[in-house]
Amino acid sequence: MASAKGAENMHTGIVSWWRAHRGGCGGESSWSCSPGVHGGHGHEWAGGGDGPGGGGDGEGFGGLGVRRPLRFLAYKLELDERQVTELARILDELKTERAQAEVDRRRTLSAFADAVGGESFDQARAKEAADLRVASAERLRDAVTKALGRIHALLKNDQRERLAYLIRTGVLTL
């Protein structure tokens, strides 16, 4: 489980970003609003990528489909400082679970390779690997479900609606 210290370190960086950029479109922010992106209602981020901090999509952090989900969500959902702090904790815990799932994935691949690499197929080894893969997927499922529940409780109704829209349209992936 993630430590409060790790979330606090992450929080320090996002708060300074959040304070500097919460003004929205125009002004001194590092991105500009642009029609034509996401059906004319989205943003085109300076320097490329999906959101503040750029970097395109991918599952680089927390298992959410943007590289910097905390910054992205802070901006898109107009989070206050308290919400940013708690969201940092939630995403840090989810990041830890995703990292463990990746370790388990590598272990299962190795075990599957061992099962087929010998003179005869090792049914027991293959079943053991498959069971580990299922258990890992179940732990990750539970972690994502728990994180979504905590995020839901953290957000106001209009923020929940925006989050649902981001998920539904594929801008944010889980």
Domain spans in the chain, listed from the N-terminal domain onward: 4-168
Work out the burial of residue 75: count CB atoms within 10 Å of its CB; fewer than 13 is exposed, 13-18 middle, 19 or more buried: buried
Residue closest to 58 by CA, chosen among 168, 172, 167, 143 = 172
Residue 88: is its pLDDT beyond 80?
yes
C-alpha span between 9 and 68 (Å, rounded) = 15
C-alpha span between 137 and 164 (Å, rounded) = 23
- Structure token pair of residue 46: 């300076």
Arithmetic mean of pLDDT, 108-130: 96
Q: Which of 66-70, 75-79, 112-116 bottoms out in mean pLDDT, i.e. has the lowest?
A: 66-70
- Number of helices (H), then strands (E), in the chain: 5, 2
Q: pLDDT band for position 11 (50/70/90)?
A: low
C-alpha span between 52 and 17 (Å, rounded) = 9
Cβ contacts of 35-40, under 8 Å, gap ≥ 24:
38/169, 38/171
pLDDT value of residue 50: 39
Residue closest to 69 by CA, chosen among 52, 47, 83 = 52
**Claim: this prediction has a pTM higher than 0.85:** no
- Structure token pair of residue 64: 């959410």
